[in-house]
Structure 1
Amino acid sequence: MKTKDRAAGPVANGVPVPGQPAGPVAPPRVSARRRRPGLIALSLALIAAGGAGVVVLVLQTGHRTQVVTVTRDVQVGEVITEADLGEASISLDPAVKAVKVGDRDAVIGKHAAVELRPGSLLAPSQVTSRSLVRAGEQVVPVGLKPEEVPASALAPGQKVRLVHVPAQGEEAPAKDAQTQDVVAARVVKAGDAAPGTGVVVVDVAAKAGDAPRLAAWVASDTVRLVLDAPGGTK
């Protein structure tokens, strides 16, 4: 059965009659948005590029390297032991040079070229096969009283001179013999001050020919330590 649309309302002479109910109002027509294929393609390309960037970032951060770390203090010249070393897995920048875990065994038994601190990465340049005590040298321990210890901290490898001073009542040597009362040496290790006395024992490496004389000075407490300037006597 066909139906006719109701008029908008009573009309008299072409003019709507007021006070009369109006008929249903047709909804406005909404035109469909026109799709833009170019814009859609650009959006998809941006999404794909962003996803690729995230993948690259994840891969980079996920790549970790097993490296050797230092677990306790190691002084210059000391032999590196297995207990001094640990391991860590980190994202390593190519510019940072560190000893890999696979090379750990090659490091053990070598000497520290610099002072090693706990928690730091071990670099190849911090390790050396050269000992502070060289061929033809001997180590002599020298005890220094608190007033004889230099204010500057003594470090392994530091060049020093051991000077013989006359004992009380002993005549000073002649000027031309004073050169015989100085022994060039190198610090191997400086200990801590002894409780109560404050005496610091310093191991020095001296030529084998000078070591007995130096030991005699130490025994008679007639030796003093003098720091050499950088680049001084070897």
Structure 2
Amino acid sequence: MSKTRERVEAVSSNGVLQQGRGVGPVAPPRVSARRRRPGVIALSLALIAAGGAGVAVLLLQVGQRTEVVTVVRDVQVGQVVTEDDLGTASVALDPAVKAVRGTDLDSVVGRRAAVELKPGSLLAPSQVTKDSLVKAGEQLVPIGLKPEQVPATALVPGQKVELVHVPAQGQTDTGKTSDTLPQTIAGRVVKASTAAPGTGIVVVDVATAAQEGPTAAAWVAADTLRLVLAAPDGN
């Protein structure tokens, strides 16, 4: 049944069919075109332009790369840095990251490592020094610490310590009374190793005054030396 037919029958059932007038197809409603407001269009164009500019700036920042100095070989604390220990790489460097620029590579060759340098890392200016970690008038004393003797605070190069003489059980220092303070030697950490597998022993290289080095070494040999951290100000 056609739409025209359905329309005629529907009207006839209500008793209002008008004779002599044909019923044609129902015309679709007219849809008026939406009027575009110039202000909205201008705002849309402005947002699109701003977004495009932001993306462009981001791409430029990502594309800016800086040549920096990298570490390519293991360098121990106090060891002289050679040209073979270093390399260069071009990276997108965050301004907060302090790294030696590639153009300054020659300025760090010949300096000593202030910390242990690991391959694959960027070289920071503070990781090298022109000063020897063991200064004139000093001696280096290696001290092995058992796990229970290692401070919980990490030992780092430059940290001030005190070497304390602790007599073996049942013994006292010759000529000293029991209420006398134990003998101590001031020192400075030059390097601390990682704990040895199995034993957990940590070897700490401590710089002391040259005249006190032999005494500290004797304490180490007799297992009567203990290491304690000095106050931050060295007092």
**Bin of the TM-score, shorter chain as denominator length:** 0.5 to 0.7
- Show the counterpart of 2:191: 189
- Show the counterpart of 2:37: none
CA shift at 1:208, angstroms? 0.5
SS in structure 2 of the partner of residue 125 of structure 1: helix
- Show the counterpart of 1:210: 212
Point out the structure with max Rg over C-alpha. Answer: 1
TM-score (norm 1): 0.62
CA shift at 1:141, angstroms? 1.6
Computed over aligned residues only, the root mean square deviation of the Cα atoms, in angstroms, reads 4.7
- Show the counterpart of 1:3: none
CA shift at 1:61, angstroms? 4.2
- Answer yes or no: is 1:136 the counterpart of 2:130: no
- 2:138 maps to a residue whose letter is E
**Cα distance between partner residues in 2 of 1:215 and 1:74:** 26
Indicate how the Cα distance of structure 1 residues 172 and 89 shifts in structure 2: closer, same or farther if over 3 A, else same.
Answer: same
Query: 1:3-48 deviations in whole A, cap 9, x for unaligned?
Result: xxxxxxxxxxxxxxxxxxxxxxxxxxxxxxxxxxxxxxxxxx9999
Gaps of 5+ in 1: 1-44
SS in structure 2 of the partner of residue 206 of structure 1: strand
- Answer yes or no: is 1:100 the counterpart of 2:132: no
- Asked whether the 8 Å contact 1:194–1:200 carries over to 2, the reply is yes
- Asked whether the 8 Å contact 1:164–1:222 carries over to 2, the reply is no
- Show the counterpart of 2:24: none
TM-score (norm 2): 0.62
Gaps of 5+ in 2: 1-45
**Cα distance between partner residues in 2 of 1:114 and 1:201:** 16
SS in structure 2 of the partner of residue 210 of structure 1: helix
SS in structure 2 of the partner of residue 209 of structure 1: helix
Residues 3-152 of structure 1: pairs in structure 2 closer than 5 A: 60-71=61-72, 77-82=78-83, 84-94=85-95, 96-114=97-115, 116=117, 118-152=119-153
Indicate how the Cα distance of structure 1 residues 123 and 223 shifts in structure 2: closer, same or farther if over 3 A, else same.
Answer: same
Indicate how the Cα distance of structure 1 residues 179 and 185 shifts in structure 2: closer, same or farther if over 3 A, else same.
Answer: farther
Indicate how the Cα distance of structure 1 residues 123 and 151 shifts in structure 2: closer, same or farther if over 3 A, else same.
Answer: closer
Indicate how the Cα distance of structure 1 residues 218 and 52 shifts in structure 2: closer, same or farther if over 3 A, else same.
Answer: closer
Indicate how the Cα distance of structure 1 residues 138 and 225 shifts in structure 2: closer, same or farther if over 3 A, else same.
Answer: same
- Asked whether the 8 Å contact 2:162–2:230 carries over to 1, the reply is no
- Show the counterpart of 1:16: none
CA shift at 1:147, angstroms? 3.3
- Asked whether the 8 Å contact 2:114–2:157 carries over to 1, the reply is no
CA shift at 1:119, angstroms? 4.1
**Cα distance between partner residues in 2 of 1:192 and 1:48:** 57
SS in structure 1 of the partner of residue 162 of structure 2: strand
In the alignment of these two chains, the number of paired residues is 216
CA shift at 1:72, angstroms? 5.8
Query: 1:60-88 deviations in whole A, cap 9, x for unaligned?
Result: 54432211123466565454344543322
